[in-house]
Structure 1
Amino acid sequence: MTMTSALSDLDIANRMADAARLAILPYFRHPDLDTQNKDAGGFDPVTAADRAGEEAMRAILGQLRPEDGILGEEFGEKPGTSGRVWVLDPIDGTRGFISGTPTWGVLIALSTDTGPVLGVIDQPYIGERFWGTGSAARMSGPHGSMTLKTRATFELSQAVVFTTFPEVGTEADCAGFQAVAAQARLARYGMDCYAYALLAAGQVDLVIEAGLNAYDIQAPIAVIQAAGGIVTDWQGGPAHNGGRAVAAANPHIHAAALDILRGF
């Protein structure tokens, strides 16, 4: 009979990230990677790697946390009985994945009704993993293991701001981002979930997005908040259900961005 494991939630999350790495990496930069489009009206790619990564993570949860629910990008929702849900995105940044750029990542969050309590952002190819739970946030990678701490930029004029797509989302979404970017020191594009990891690591100040799903943002919320940052929607409310999100290194730069974004 399958029973709940005595392993900690973070141990489970790390096992899932390890399993996803093993499942996904053989497909990365493979010349014969088969890519399908999930959006008849646009381009929303999915690959066998996306499905293999999520299947590997779900298999671990089935063994070690069978009472928990699951919400995954590729295989949808599995109800649970514990009141907790694992929110999974096996490859956040599939466009980057199929282009060969190492900006995609595996996103794992553990969530309750009020939002995520644990998050992992894993970049398998370069071997970096960022995690946060409660007030503890750390990363491991080629330079070893270290504590994550967001930086203390106060002035928007000194901020580095990221978004994934130059068009951001709707025309209003784009206008909101551009209004912030126009006052920032530097704007960069196309980093997918890795931008959130850089924010938690103290490298950038703001990530502004729109059109998100819960599985796109819950893991970054947990990591960034544990590292000392803040993530809300553009009105300052909760962002864990998706939609518009602004992630900030500290309350000061967050307030400066919200002063602009609330107008859109």
Structure 2
Amino acid sequence: MTISTAARPTDAAIAETLIASATAARASTLGRFRTQLAVDNKFSVGFDPVTEADREAETVIRAIIAERFPDHGIIGEEWDAKATETAYNWIIDPIDGTRAFISGVPVWGTLIGLTHEGKAIAGLMEQPFTGERWMAVGGQLEHTRNGGPQPAGVSSVAKLSQARTSTTSPDMFRGPHLSAWTELSSRVLQVRYGLDCYAYCLLASGHIDLVVEVQLKHVDIAPLIPIIEAAGGVVTTWDGGRAENGGTCVAAATPQLHDEAMRVLREAMLD
């Protein structure tokens, strides 16, 4: 069915599309999780894995969005962007955390978001193996597990010394970014690695307080921004700008924690 017009889509239509897309992708992702998949490397140097599950899941998500919003753009991880003249773009990462996926670790997720004039206005992260979904539309966050409601909302942690912190891998940091991360990580309560998109959603549920990253693609972070903000958190680049385009990211439970993290990162990069 076609829903889209040139006007702003309703929150209900956005939510229905996010859920329908994630549900359709589930057969491709969950059905292949913890199986012996062939893995391709997108990089000639280094390792950026992709599987048939990634490609197939994005294909089915694109089909649902294109049917409902034929005049909207689509930007995905695995296939070429569909450019249009409208201000709306759907952002897709069918399996964020493919390294975790191919290792049998259930911290990967399907990311789908919607931007308007470059700003993320809705987002979903689904982890099919645990049955969890975080979805933010119209500034409202819904967190469910197997269809049942779950608590959502950031913690009240305001100091680095109390912050449960995450980044995907310390190997991602280089040069001044490495110096900044080394200084920051020495001041926090603890650091957990390898959680990819799951870390941001744990922040939105009050279990992690701070996520600091570099080398992000737009598909890695844009769908998560509405989730973090609807939970009451703060998310920016390291220079304080909007994070939709990727690169660096600081996501924090409270403005005070975000400010302290930003100060430490900036001072360490100047040393």
Bucket of the pairwise TM-score, normalised by the shorter protein: over 0.9
2 CA distance for matches of 1:91 and 1:261? 29
Name the structure 2 match of 1:102: 106
The answer to whether the aligner puts 1:189 opposite 2:196 as a matched pair is no
What is the CA deviation profile of residues 59-96 of structure 1, one whole-angstrom value per residue up to 9, with x for unaligned ones? 10121111110000000210123310000000000011
The answer to whether the aligner puts 1:120 opposite 2:124 as a matched pair is yes
Relative distance call for 1:9 and 1:143 in structure 2 (3 A) is closer
Name the structure 2 match of 1:3: 2
Q: TM-score of the superposition, structure 1-length normalised?
A: 0.95
Name the structure 2 match of 1:14: 19
Report 1:69-108 matches (<5 A): 69-108=73-112
Aligned sequence identity (%): 41
Name the structure 1 match of 2:69: 65
CA shift at 1:27, angstroms? 1.2
Aligned-partner residue type, residue 148 of structure 1: A
Relative distance call for 1:70 and 1:187 in structure 2 (3 A) is same
Q: Which moved more, 1:44-53 or 1:167-176?
A: 167-176
Instruction: Report the RMSD for the aligned CA atoms in angstroms.
Output: 1.5
Relative distance call for 1:43 and 1:23 in structure 2 (3 A) is same
CA shift at 1:164, angstroms? 0.4
CA shift at 1:147, angstroms? 4.6
Aligned-partner residue type, residue 229 of structure 2: Q
**Structure 2: segments with no counterpart, 5+ residues:** 5-9
2 CA distance for matches of 1:168 and 1:206? 17
Q: TM-score of the superposition, structure 2-length normalised?
A: 0.93
Aligned-partner residue type, residue 24 of structure 1: T
SS at match of 2:30: helix
2 CA distance for matches of 1:87 and 1:42? 25
2 CA distance for matches of 1:235 and 1:203? 25
Query: Which one of 228, 243, 250 corresponds to residue 254 of structure 2?
Result: 250
The answer to whether the aligner puts 1:27 opposite 2:26 as a matched pair is no
Preserved CA contact (<8 Å) 2:124 2:227: yes
Alignment length (residue pairs): 262
The answer to whether the aligner puts 1:162 opposite 2:166 as a matched pair is yes
2 CA distance for matches of 1:121 and 1:63? 21
Preserved CA contact (<8 Å) 1:137 1:147: no
Report 1:198-217 matches (<5 A): 198-217=202-221
Preserved CA contact (<8 Å) 2:173 2:181: no
**Structure 1: segments with no counterpart, 5+ residues:** none
Aligned-partner residue type, residue 23 of structure 1: S
Relative distance call for 1:133 and 1:147 in structure 2 (3 A) is farther
What is the CA deviation profile of residues 27-54 of structure 1, one whole-angstrom value per residue up to 9, with x for unaligned ones? 11112x1100000011110000000110
Deviating above 4 A after TM superposition, structure 1's stretches of 4 or more consecutive aligned residues are none
Aligned-partner residue type, residue 249 of structure 1: A
Q: Which moved more, 1:83-92 or 1:170-179?
A: 170-179
2 CA distance for matches of 1:143 and 1:15? 14
Name the structure 2 match of 1:225: 229
CA shift at 1:8, angstroms? 1.2
Name the structure 1 match of 2:7: none
Q: Which moved more, 1:119-128 or 1:134-143?
A: 134-143
SS at match of 1:177: helix
